[in-house]
Structure 1
Amino acid sequence: MSDITAPSTELASLAAEFDAADELAALRARFVLDDAVYLDGNSLGALPASVPGRLADVVHREWGEMRIRSWDESGWWTAPERIGDRIAPLVGAAPGQIVVGDSTSVNVFKAVVAAVRMADEGSGSGDGRRDEILVDATTFPTDGYLAESAARMTGRTLRPVTPAEVPAALGDRTAAVLLNHVDYRSGRLHDLPALTAAVHEAGAYAVWDLCHSAGALPVDLDEHGVDLAVGCTYKYLNGGPGSPAYLYVRRDLQPRFDSPLPGWTSHAAPFAMDPAYQPAAGAPRGRVGTPDILSMLALEAALDVWGGGGDGGSAGAGVTIESVRAKSLALTDFFLRCVSAYVPEGRVESITPVAHAERGSQIALRCDDAGDVMKRLIHQGVIGDFRHPDVLRFGFTPLYVTFADTERAARVLGETLGEMG
């Protein structure tokens, strides 16, 4: 980083030009926002303006007046698959392959155990058994905990490796590989197409965690032959705190998907109350228990900001995931430019890759006293977050973050660090 070389008026004017040319600018009005610069959408997305009214209707009319009839008449029962089909275009999946429900953690467990069980079908027992699970060593801790539990449950060995080490670590012992598309701490985007191909070449199954990519950049699950994927909906999909996660099972694998959590709503005849379990066909076999209707329908309303869905990469009328990605890269490029101009030399170091092909939708800056710095930024209306021990994390949600927000965040950061010495 260098000393401040560009006056704020120059970069502020440039931000205004970028905002005037932004084809997504009108989407900001679809969210409930204030004067703060909100750069923490990679932890909790902003509230879409359509959600409060929809929830009020669900509570007062569907629950309050219709009561039990709403399972059928209001479509509560089919919500997990219906909303899954709304998410599908955002991750490059055809309809019928995503079911919404449970948490990301629960879905990670389902997916990893199911992947190992599918690997068992082709390997038999004895020396030819695929007895190892690879997990991203840099993953969010919960993924590691769940992978370790899945390994114990299935009698496998868990082997943590970095994504870069995966190709060399793969072999005929590998049953499944659990990877993150975007690293939660650094914002590094991993090569999903190449890593998935390498996993398949080794005869194993790929499970991807999309929490920090879905809704911010193209994923193209179908195109790249991903086996299983999971993701949350409260970050770039703006579903609200604790909103239900989703599970993707590639269509040709659905008949073989053997969930370790067979619940009554994933039964082929759920209301028959048969003591013997018979899994439903298709994506519904990823369900477990009764859907969390209030959170689920809040998520459905939140997805209205994208439009009505669409084919391929379309995220809805006038909004494509490609245009969202283009703005994300422009915002993060501009933020790095502003940081370079405003922040005193040597005070921060970006740990997010510069290359677009390796960058998610956040910028992570290593900084001394990062926890205290972030508290000061938040007090001044620039909201990011802190990751132990020394990382300032700024998430850019292209649907509502502006270039003016971006310039202001970098300027306040520079001023704050200058005052702290």
Structure 2
Amino acid sequence: MTPELQQHLIGRALAHLAAGTSDLAPDEVTGSVDAYLSAERFAREQQALFRNQPLALGPRALVPQSGDFLTTNDHRFPLLVTRGPDGGLHAMLNACTHRGARLVSESGGSRRQAFVCPYHGWTYGHDGQLRHATHPECFPGLDRSVQGLVTLPVQEQAGLIWVQRNPTPADDLRAFLGGLAPDLTALSLDTHVPGPGYERVVAANWKLVVDSFLEDYHIPFVHNETVSQVVTGKVMVWDAFGRHQRLVQPGPGLQALAAVPPRRWRLRPVAAICYFVFPNTALFVNADHVVWFRVDPLDVGSTRVRWTLLIPETAQSEALAAHWERHRRLGVAGLEEDLGAVERVQAGLQAGLLLQVRRGRNEVAVQAFHATIDSVPGMTP
């Protein structure tokens, strides 16, 4: 983030703190509880949001070297990502083109020279090309050049791996990220590695989980002894970048910058910064690290969440291990408070007596998130 942008954001935050205000939506809105309960709507979301636009799979460090690979089955879509001998990335459907068997069962690995189907032994290269078919004489019409794995669009940008689960790209990544790209690039995530993490399944609709980190209204009540010690929960500086958002929440030290020359202002030590990458990824930027957070819907009332510290490569050592573990414990404690809250919300909505939810002016990012979902092609019945 440039010094000029940091000064601009800190200036806005200081003005809000002085006036007792925050960035607000023009008005409150209401929304149907079907957004969290409807199986039919959930099916539309899976196609429109999770198949037809780029998704941030994770940091580049997940597959850093030639021969490295990873697999996921998020959104009931078996995915294989590899890094080839030339250093290039490849993304493919993790299904043998002979009979559709799962090709790779491991979650990841390294130094893999080829991928052999455990069902009938068909063998594929890092790029998905079919190298060998067992008993080829039994397949006289087989053309190996066109019988490779189904390939998918994949790119690296801003230190992240982006995959689209549709062989025909619907969105150009640069256009998709728009004005958010410079901020993401400035994080230098290509120089970070995954540290301690946390993963669990939540009994709640995926959008309730996203809602929880797009507003600070709940912080004094849900996070009285955790997050509220780090951010005020009263001021948010909010900006939208197409479908994506940036949220800046002042910490206890930001107010003191009012007495410091603006040329010396630095944002990360005095604020919590959240970059929300639509539809299901957040990057929480802290003073010395970044937290990677991804929300993957399993069904209409069940969601897998992944939370991972991204640590600068230069900050890896046994001496710092306790420091990062302390950050993990604090982060997971706050996350568990959020997840418990959204599970209780889901239970209340499933009772079937509430027809609408309200989203206040101070929940501007939540309003924008749901408006964006409704605007995506394919989301209108």
Structure 2-normalised TM-score?
Answer: 0.29
| Higher share in helix | 1
TM-score, normalising length: structure 1? 0.27
Structure with greater strand share of residues = 2
